[in-house]
Structure 1
Amino acid sequence: MAERMVPNPRRERLRQLLVEAEDRAHEVRQAYQRASSAMRSGKVWTGPTAATWTTELEDRHHRLGRLAQNVVDAVEEELRRQPPLVTESEANAMRREMAGRT
């Protein structure tokens, strides 16, 4: 008799992780917008050093945004790899693994 198929617990954990990663990526994309806008306004700090600092801030902000999106993309890719259903024994093994009891 074939073993009963159950929802893949790893998929559920990856869905939760994806929501969290998307939330953090959104926060990262907005993290320095106010500082950047203030610097670009010319009312906070001006001059060559200020321009260099602002450019570096924006470059790092964009890089951080790309890295955060890479995390989201990696979680999505792993989620796509996971089958929706697994055998009950596979699900139990996954739960033990996720709980650190391998």
Structure 2
Amino acid sequence: MTETPVLNPRHQALQQTLARVRQLVAQLETALDEPYRQFTGTAVWVGPVARQFGEELSLHRRRLRTQAAKVITELEEELGRTPEKVSPAVAREQARHLPGWT
């Protein structure tokens, strides 16, 4: 007799994690926007050192966005590789390895 597949706790945990990470990434992606806007919007500081600082700020802003996007992509890929439903035995085994799942 074949057991009816059940929701995979690991898939559910990945979905929840992805949703939370998307929220946090949205905050991270804009974390440097206001300082960047303030720095580039008016001549608050000029000269070669200021120019170098502005370039570094821009670089860090882009890098932060790129790395945040990579985190989401990796989670999405892992979620895509994880079956939504599994046998009850596999679900129990998956649940044993997840914090907060019983």
The separation in 2 between residues aligned to 1:99 and 1:4, in whole angstroms, is: 25
Q: Structure 1 unaligned runs (5+)?
A: none
How many aligned residue pairs are there?
100
> Which residue of structure 1 aligns with residue 48 of structure 2?
48
The separation in 2 between residues aligned to 1:40 and 1:76, in whole angstroms, is: 35
Offset from partner CA, 1:43-100 (integer Å, 9 cap, x none): 4222211111011011011111100100000000011111111000100000101139
Q: Structure 2 unaligned runs (5+)?
A: none
> Which residue of structure 2 aligns with residue 87 of structure 1?
87
> Which residue of structure 2 aligns with residue 11 of structure 1?
11
SS of alignment partner, residue 98 of structure 1: coil
Aligned AA (2:49): T
The separation in 1 between residues aligned to 2:46 and 2:34, in whole angstroms, is: 16
The separation in 2 between residues aligned to 1:51 and 1:36, in whole angstroms, is: 12
1:35 Cα deviation (Å)? 0.7
Runs of 4+ in 1 over 6 A off after TM superposition: none
Distance 1:10 1:62, change over 3 A: same
Name the % identity: 31
Query: In the TM superposition, what are the counterparts of 1:50-69 in structure 2 within 5 Å?
Result: 50-69=50-69
Q: Provide the TM-score with structure 1 as the length reference.
A: 0.90
Aligned AA (2:6): V
Q: Provide the TM-score with structure 2 as the length reference.
A: 0.90
CA contact under 8 A between 1:24 and 1:68: conserved in structure 2?
A: no
> Which residue of structure 2 aligns with residue 26 of structure 1?
26
The separation in 2 between residues aligned to 1:25 and 1:38, in whole angstroms, is: 22
